[in-house]
Amino acid sequence: MKQLIVSLAFTLILAATAHAELPSATAAVVQQSLSSGRPTVIDLGARSCIPCKKMAPILESLSKEYRGKAGVLFIDVQSDQAAAQKFRVQMIPTQVFFNAQGKEVKRHVGFLDKPELVKELKSAGLK
C-alpha cells in the first residue's frame, strides 16, 4: 500500500512538471511582439480554466515551432486584469490575432486546436 501511494505521488508530480506552459506575457512583451513586424496571437485565459489548460501545450509547441516567425503569447487575465480590459475580453479563452503591422485582424472565443491556430496565423501573414 505504501508503495502504491509513493508511486501515485511520484506520477502526479511528474505529470505536473511535464505540463508545459508559456509564462504570462507582460505589457512590454506584448508591445515588443506587436511591433516586431511578425504576426502575433495572444491567448487570454487563466491557469485554472479547463479549455485554457488544454491549449497550453499547443501554444508552447507553436511558440517553439514559429520562434522568429510569429509571436505566440499567453496572458493570465486573473493576474493581469488590465490586459483583460485592454483587449476587451468577455469570456476565456480568447485568442486575438494581429498582422505584422500589429493590427487586430481576428478574434476567437473558446478552445482552438493547433491546425486552426496555424490557419489563423497564416491569414495574419505567417509565412
| Domains of the chain from N-terminus onward | 21-123 (3.40.30.10)
Read off the pLDDT of residues 49-75 as tens digits, 9 standing for 90 and up: 999 999 999 999 999 999 999 999 999
Residues 6+ apart with CB under 8 A from 50: none
Tell me the whole-structure pTM to 2 decimals: 0.83
pLDDT band at 21 (very low <50, low <70, confident <90, very high): confident
One-letter amino acid of 29:
V
Confidence of residue 7 (pLDDT cuts 50, 70, 90): very low
